[in-house]
Amino acid sequence: MKISRRTLISGVIAVAGSAVLPRIAWANTTLSLGAGMLDTLSDGHLMLPRSFVLGDIPVAEADAVLEPFGLAGAASLLPDCNLTLWRGDDRTVLFDAGSGPDFMPTAGHLMAAMDALGITPEDVTDVVFTHGHPDHLWGALDDFDEPLFANAQHHMGQIEWDYWTDPALPDTIAADRLTFAVGAARRLEVLAEGINLFNDGDEVLPGITARATHGHTPGHMAFEIATEEETVMVLGDCIANHHIAFVRPDWPNGSDQDTAQGAETRAALLAQLADTGTVFAGFHLPAPGLGRAVRDGNAFRFEPLT
């Protein structure tokens, strides 16, 4: 396993008129794994109100955990968005489709990252969704509401598909997530023809196995990519930050739709990842999102791959 390249697409982006710190915009980082190649591609980053992530955790308790990460007192959190691209066995597999232009101005930059890597949307043979949230799904269509990855087969977990395509969902989802429901339904309607639906443990594509990691959304899936060299895991959002999720995996994460199930999934998965030393790609971990979990007392620590 070897990290062989990092491409910067521009130096520093200053966000005009806000207190946001300048950000390095990176395009992609490549990990060579036997005959295959894994890239993480930047789609930019999100700007989330603190309360969306931290929910009801008392401010002082949260700040005590966030302080070593320089985030104590932060009014908003700016998680990176790292998509995973896997190339092997004549397939070019993109995990999630990014935000597209309609979610947040700081995200939806996937095309620049793909440009820097020299690939086009038409080169993608498969799009495999971890879940149906906007930053993972909304980039799947182009400006004409046609599939952007025009030659790709799309894949989603059956439970996740059933959830977001349920016509009753807009009436039952939390009011502040109504746009998530409407936005997902509109896109999945376009992708419905020919979609491959799968379940926990299924081999979605050769060497790529689905792992149920429910809680963040009802049917959230992570994926194991097995190569002759080692297995790497694509986490999606089941471990969605490098601070509280590792230090206090038992705390509820406000971005999880079922916070209790999300915490249970996270704690169990972290223990497994740490004990096996498995390398993973985390969608919202600090760019490029590649690393391992290490036990740290009763908790864990994110150790980026260098």
Calculate ∠ Cα 182-167-211, nearest 5°.
80
Contact map string, positions 155 to 194, toward Zn ion, x by CB under 5 A: ----------------------------------------
For Zn ion (CB under 5 A), the number of binding residues is 2
Name which position in 135, 181, 205, 249 contacts Zn ion (CB under 5 A).
135
Question: Phi first, then psi: what are they for 219, rounded to 5°?
Answer: -125, 30
The window from 5-13, 130-138, 160-168, 285-293 that contacts Zn ion (CB under 5 A) reads 130-138
The window from 48-56, 191-199, 218-226, 229-237 that contacts Zn ion (CB under 5 A) reads 229-237
Binding flag, residue 237, Zn ion (CB under 5 A): yes
Question: Phi first, then psi: what are they for 256, rounded to 5°?
Answer: -75, 135
Q: How far is the CB of 135 from Zn ion (least distance, A)?
A: 4
**In the numeric block, which tokens belong to residue 249?**
């995996």
Q: How far is the CB of 66 from Zn ion (least distance, A)?
A: 19
Q: How far is the CB of 192 from Zn ion (least distance, A)?
A: 22
Q: How far is the CB of 283 from Zn ion (least distance, A)?
A: 5
Minimum CB distance to Zn ion smaller for 39 or for 256: 256
Which residue in this structure is represented by tokens 């009014």?
75
The window from 32-40, 63-71, 131-139, 142-150 that contacts Zn ion (CB under 5 A) reads 131-139
Q: How far is the CB of 219 from Zn ion (least distance, A)?
A: 15
Q: How far is the CB of 252 from Zn ion (least distance, A)?
A: 17
Minimum CB distance to Zn ion smaller for 39 or for 135: 135
The window from 23-31, 93-101, 133-141, 197-205 that contacts Zn ion (CB under 5 A) reads 133-141
CB 219 within 8 A of CB 163: yes
Q: How far is the CB of 245 from Zn ion (least distance, A)?
A: 12
Which residue in this structure is represented by tokens 């149906």?
132
**In the numeric block, which tokens belong to residue 247?**
């230090």
Binding flag, residue 43, Zn ion (CB under 5 A): no
**In the numeric block, which tokens belong to residue 132?**
């149906």
The window from 12-20, 23-31, 135-143, 159-167 that contacts Zn ion (CB under 5 A) reads 135-143
The window from 17-25, 117-125, 185-193, 234-242 that contacts Zn ion (CB under 5 A) reads 234-242
Minimum CB distance to Zn ion smaller for 207 or for 223: 223
Minimum CB distance to Zn ion smaller for 95 or for 149: 95
Minimum CB distance to Zn ion smaller for 135 or for 256: 135
Binding flag, residue 96, Zn ion (CB under 5 A): no
Interacting residues with Zn ion (CB under 5 A): 135, 237
